[in-house]
Amino acid sequence: MKIKMFGLMGGKARERASSSSFCLLEWGLNLVTAALNWKLYWCPLKMGISDTVRSLFPCIKSHSTSDGDDSTHNVEFAGGNVSLITTKESWDQKLAEAKKEGKIVIANFSASWCGPCRMISPFYCELSEKYLSLMFLTVDVDELTEFSSSWDIKATPTFFFLEDGEQIDKLVGANKPELQKKITTVADTHVACEPQPQPQ
């Protein structure tokens, strides 16, 4: 399918376009291919979309500190060991809990409109069940826009590895092998650092 693009251009560009055919189909396919390759691992952050990550992560346990009976925030989803963070208070609560229990936190900043986030979510849930010595969180960037910005989130998913609330590592993108590698390394290092019980 070839079309002449001279109607949309002016000056010399119109002359060049009117003298040669432009293959829109080939251009479109190249554009779509490039976009799919680019979006395979991460999405640029778009703020202001009110969708929720909960629909993407069937294994997420939602936590909220609101006193009202907000059933969407108090639902326990089957399976997994991932907590959905939708308020700054619940973030602070989970980090305090991790510090008290001596756990490293894996925080996944994610969005429901992000294809790579949807792709990696089941794998992230599997990892949460395998590595019980770590705390797995998912932060909904649409619910916590300002908070996500304070972490300098430029793309989703972005995974932060935190010890005592301080960043020790980071991964941008839905790269399963790299996420597995980083989590395994953190878990192995954490276990090696824990004090071993002394024989009596």
pLDDT tens digit sequence for 124-174: 999 999 999 999 999 999 999 999 999 999 999 999 999 999 999 999 999
Q: What is the pLDDT averaged over residues 15-26?
A: 44
Average pLDDT over residues 54-65: 47
Cα–Cα distance list, 127 to 6, 29, 66, 86, 200 (Å): 55, 36, 29, 21, 35
* Lowest mean pLDDT segment, chosen from 28-42, 113-127, 131-145: 28-42
**Per-residue model confidence (pLDDT) at position 189:** 86
pTM for the model stands at: 0.63
How confident is residue 38, by pLDDT bands cut at 50, 70 and 90?
A: very low
Query: 181 and 50 in contact (C-beta within 8 Å)?
Result: no
Class of domain 53-193: alpha beta
Q: Any idea where the domains of the chain sit in the sequence? A: 2-39, 53-193
- Positions marked active-site: 114, 117
